[in-house]
Structure 1
Amino acid sequence: MKKTLLITLLGILCQAGFSQSTQKPPLHGKHWMAITGKPLGATAGAMIFSQGGNAIDASCAMLASVCTMWDVLSWGGETQALIYNPNTKEVIAINALGYAPSGATVDFFKEKGMEYPPEFGALAATTPGTPGGLMTLLAEYGTLSLKEVLKPAMEMAKGYPIEAQTANMIENRKDLIKEWPYSKKVFLPHLGEEREAPHAGEIFVQEDLYNTLQKLVETEEKALEDGKSRKEAIYAAYDRFYKGDIAEEIVRGTREQGGLFTKEDLENWKVKIEKPLSVDYKGIEVYKLQEWTQGPALLQALNILENFDIRSMGYNSSRYIHTLYQAMSLAFTDRDFYYGDPAFEPQSPMKGLLSKEYAKERAKLIKEKNDPEIGPGDPYPFQGETNPYMNLLKKRKDALAFNNPDLPVQGPEDPFLQSFQSGTTSIQAADKDGWVVSITPSGGWIPAVIAGNTGVGLSQRMQSFVLDENLNPYNLVEPNKRPRVTLTPSMALKDGKPFLSFAVQGGDTQDQDLLQMFLNIVEFDMTVQEAAEASNIHNYHMQSSFGAHESKPGSITLNAEIPTWTRRELAKKGYKMNFLERTSGPLNAIWFDWKHNSFWGGSSNHGEDYGIAW
């Protein structure tokens, strides 16, 4: 196994030595491919592939590892996935998003003087979803044991050299971390010194987390000894996390720190295996998760853009950027008002929202200049119904939390921008047998409340709910309801076979980056690595899903290399511009080369994302 990994890594380094049209070389693989947000995470996937695991097994190992590394998520966060099953030729959706705990109501938060649920602390936490999501993925579609898949993460929990990015994030947020006793114990090993967080490269130990993972493995092994099947044994570990002593400590530790979790909240939560939503874009079937995510906004944008000859406009011309921005505004304002948990009433009007006829009507609203007044449309007639919330649409503009909409985004240190692009990570895996996995896990990022002595950092996803029905009657907080999240893995099929598996981190910019990556490949003939590094734009017309849920209509982020004449034309169209050196977003993707029966991998130069292939 070690020899295989060494050969693979040497191959990558040799590729990097040659002249490239991209800053990173494309990945090429024949047997498997593993890509995620951190190099060590990708290595964990490669280790599992080298042991004979399939793409599901490898993706679970990567998920466990990046959670342990606090790659803008933790074990108490949420996991969303799309899977291509080569046996059934179908795309499957995994919903492992936690829900609001008992007592989490609109009145509860309003009585505390809040306009939205909080960004941080125990009251920001939905129930843990990632452990259940990982174990469901593994049990239903994997081949290895939980013990084998968790081994890399458990070794890391015993101690791994922490990266500068994470270590510095801990140091920068230590004032908040000190408010939570169990977080302080884990994150600040040098309490009282000038630097209280770990140093870059220091061995970071998480004993409580290791013990929690060990309990899951012990439960699986005991079930196997008792004659249970592989699948039953994994679900025995699942039950211990959500119904046994681990759940009891999560509830105790969360409530001690001001949270609302009950034992019943964890017992009653379940992972959902769902049917994804999809649209056809010029013969390519594009799949996204349901409207409890922002994913359908990408599908809506594709339907709108299908009404324009965007190829003839030219990549990143002023006409293309303007049309793209307006299409995003139209799709995402629908997201802001209509999307929510489909398990609760009212039901989002997804049939109308995803209809080609509705998109054609929305496309007619795109004018020669930016329209800062774009708001949600009325999709109900396109599914043969009457909109029950027309009165709220009229009130919505007054309820919006626009904060200085005439002031453009100021740059990477702008608190609005940091909130808008709040991170996560992404995982991509594929194997020679045809399994494909696209995951966007998140939640429990630093600074996180750790739930008692479990080592499990809790999600902060409650902040994505709203408390005012004028903003979104479908996404009002209530117990056992899932918030509408930004997390959004993607998959596309062509001629009934996998074409592209892709995901990205970055909060509300996720589906903006994913939309542009898809168009870069389909409309502008880029390779997957070129598309991963290409200069994207970011639109701030929609509401942020975090913090104060602000919006800055007309503000746009452009790459610093955008030429002067394009800037001048966009200014005439009413855009307020800011510029960054890298605007691709940390995209990860796998493109399927059916002509040569191989994989092409793309991993952006934006952050620390990394891939390994064989």
Structure 2
Amino acid sequence: MKASTSVVSAFAVSALGLLCCTALAYDRITGHDFTSRSEVIAQHAMAATSHPLATQVALDIMKQGGNAIDAAIAANAAIGLMEPTGNGIGGDLYAIVWDAKTERLYGLNGSGRSPLGLSYDQVAAELERMGRTDLPPHGMLPISVPGAIDGWFELHQKFGQLPMATILQPSIDYAEQGFPVTELIAYYWNRSVPLLSPQPGDFVGTFTIDGQAPRKGQIFKNPALGATYRALATDGRDAFYRGELTRVMDRFMRENGGYLRYEDFDQHTSTWVEPVSVDYKGYELWELPPNGQGIAALQMLQILKNFDLAAMGFNSADSIHTMVEAKKLAFEDRAKFYADSDFSQQPIAGLISEAYGRERAKLIGERAAQRVDAGNPHLYEGDTIYLTTADKDGNMVSLIQSNYRGMGSGVVVPGLGFVFQDRGQMFSMDKNHANVYEPGKRPFNTIIPAFITKGGKPLISYGVMGGAMQPQGHVQILVNIVDYGMNLQEAGDAARWQHLGSTEPTDGQAMYLKNGGYIEVERGVPYSTVRELMQRGHQVRYGLGGFGGYQAIMRDHTNGVYLGASESRKDGQAAGY
């Protein structure tokens, strides 16, 4: 299988597009034409994150006797410092853990809830004053309780080995002594500063150097975040949810028109959930149930198993058309049904059933569907970072964490060193919608970790961060491996596509896809494919980034080693020992 060298002269690809798109190595002696580099292979442990220094932190923790869970927490703390453009302790967390002792998967929903004292009518009145019908991306209104820290401590209490003080110490050192800012992070940081500087608090004092975003290679320090980490290391999760930090945040919110209160932090809990899965040609893909969007990937696979993607060929017009149409069908269900299960019951068993997938597959024709409605699964009832770690005992962690939009709300409590997330923007204001805003409710959440097992054994821990790209990316990675025989690195580097324009969970209950949406492709997709997709009625564009951030670890049970892969579109690194 050879990568196309078609010239896309009909489309202009900017420097950013070239940076973010796939780097194909056409002359690799191994014949793996879609890879930017070889897989990393190690015997004892592996870490793959979006920042090389965070990867090294994870490995150092495991060399000190920590396990994969300790390493994942340490890496997340480091990335929260080093990549504030995508995550931080002001955001949410989800994780899937393979526990080698019990030989099973555990799922953690570490997402936060809306303010208990902020009613629907108050939100509606504030939106009317602002001249909006949806929640804004910045400021106080979209802030929900940060769940990441509680997620760390839940993971640690259940599986951790080293003390949290040891786990957090590398990030404390980097916060106080500084770290060099990497290339892509510097780019996004520069974009965020003018948008978020006007928000309440101390964004400029915390996240700029003399009022400017740090440049590539410049040393950046965040001693305020280091102090917050020290408080967590000393006093545990209660320092953030029931301690002095809580009182500081409560006071700041009251003085600056915010809505979170001490009670919101005090009552916050993470939730251990059962991951759900579907079988795709002998491989089980595991995702977490809503309020996240993970089961959209499972719905897509239940549709796609009714087609021979391998015979269609990688990134052919037939394969992309079929996968895009499956995405359209799954995402209309996503828009209608996915929400906090504490407030409404979703027909999850029906949504991910083979029978429902088979019926939805019948709706896919030769032409691009322009109108797509949500189905009736009841009939079949029966900006983000991703990282993964694996240790010598066989434990594996798939963890994703986010502020939501880039650097979040822009609201920074002076002296604490982090930005509050703006995940509350993902609520709908339609009172009849499952995802409607309510006090104390978790909004629909885009961040999803993934895990693949085969024959009951752990195989691949992976994720593809990036908004609605995530379930589409999860499916593309699995299909690349299963149907197209790609290795772990090749599966991530191969040119991607994404479909946009589907109905969102923030829209009204009566909404549906009206105009077919559009496809964005990377420059590695042949123009012959693009042309045929257009002839089938698809709108196609060459995208300028936005195709996700992939990290993965595979367990090779035969040789007793781990294989690691890291996203060529990001600054990250896979490494092991």
Same fold, TM exceeding 0.5?
A: yes
Matches of 2:523 and 2:183, distance apart in 1: 26
Paired residue type of 1:135: F
Cα 1:604–1:165 change in 2 (3 A) is: closer
Matches of 1:321 and 1:570, distance apart in 2: 8
SS of the residue aligned with 1:186? helix
Cα deviation 1:182-233 (Å, max 9, x = unaligned): 2122123314xxxx333333332222212111122222xxxxxxxxxxxxxx
Cα 1:31–1:103 change in 2 (3 A) is: same
Aligned pairs for 1:274-285 within 5 A: 274-285=273-284
- The answer for the alignment partner of 2:549 in structure 1 is 586
Q: CA deviation at 1:557?
A: 1.0
Q: 2:204 aligns with which of 184, 189, 199?
A: 184
Deviates more, 1:249-258 or 1:298-307: 249-258
Q: CA deviation at 1:19?
A: 5.5
- The answer for the alignment partner of 2:18 in structure 1 is none
Aligned pairs for 1:525-540 within 5 A: 525-540=485-500
Q: What residue ranges of structure 2 are gaps of 5+ in the alignment?
A: 1-26
- The answer for the alignment partner of 1:204 in structure 2 is 220
- The answer for the alignment partner of 1:174 in structure 2 is 193
- The answer for the alignment partner of 2:347 in structure 1 is 349
SS of the residue aligned with 2:366? coil
Cα 1:521–1:169 change in 2 (3 A) is: closer
Aligned pairs for 1:112-131 within 5 A: 112=126, 113=128, 114-131=132-149
Matched, 1:425 2:385: yes
Kept in 2, the 8 Å contact 1:68–1:75? The answer is: no
Q: CA deviation at 1:426?
A: 0.4
State the TM-score, normalized to the length of structure 1.
Answer: 0.83
- The answer for the alignment partner of 1:491 in structure 2 is 451
Matches of 1:454 and 1:564, distance apart in 2: 50
- The answer for the alignment partner of 2:368 in structure 1 is 370
Deviates more, 1:21-30 or 1:356-365: 21-30
Q: CA deviation at 1:75?
A: 1.2
Deviates more, 1:296-305 or 1:201-210: 201-210
Kept in 2, the 8 Å contact 1:119–1:547? The answer is: no
Kept in 2, the 8 Å contact 1:560–1:581? The answer is: no
Matches of 1:538 and 1:590, distance apart in 2: 23
Matched, 1:134 2:148: no
Kept in 1, the 8 Å contact 2:428–2:505? The answer is: no
- The answer for the alignment partner of 2:88 in structure 1 is 74
- The answer for the alignment partner of 1:326 in structure 2 is 325
Cα deviation 1:58-78 (Å, max 9, x = unaligned): 111101000112151111111
Paired residue type of 1:543: T
Aligned pairs for 1:269-308 within 5 A: 269-308=268-307
Matches of 1:189 and 1:271, distance apart in 2: 35
- The answer for the alignment partner of 2:72 in structure 1 is 59
Cα 1:564–1:201 change in 2 (3 A) is: closer
Greater helix percent: which structure? Answer: 1
Segments ≥4 residues shifted beyond 6 Å: 545-552
Matched, 1:87 2:89: no
- The answer for the alignment partner of 2:47 in structure 1 is 34
Matches of 1:541 and 1:42, distance apart in 2: 35
Cα deviation 1:309-341 (Å, max 9, x = unaligned): 221111111111111000111111100110001
Deviates more, 1:348-357 or 1:277-286: 277-286
Q: CA deviation at 1:581?
A: 7.7
Paired residue type of 2:439: P
- The answer for the alignment partner of 1:394 in structure 2 is none
Q: CA deviation at 1:163?
A: 3.0
Matches of 2:351 and 2:141, distance apart in 1: 33
Matches of 1:427 and 1:566, distance apart in 2: 33
Cα 1:37–1:317 change in 2 (3 A) is: same
Deviates more, 1:109-118 or 1:324-333: 109-118
Aligned pairs for 1:511-590 within 5 A: 511-543=471-503, 553-580=516-543, 585-590=548-553
Root-mean-square deviation (CA, aligned residues, Å) is 2.2
Q: What residue ranges of structure 1 are gaps of 5+ in the alignment?
A: 1-16, 220-236, 385-422
Kept in 2, the 8 Å contact 1:533–1:584? The answer is: no
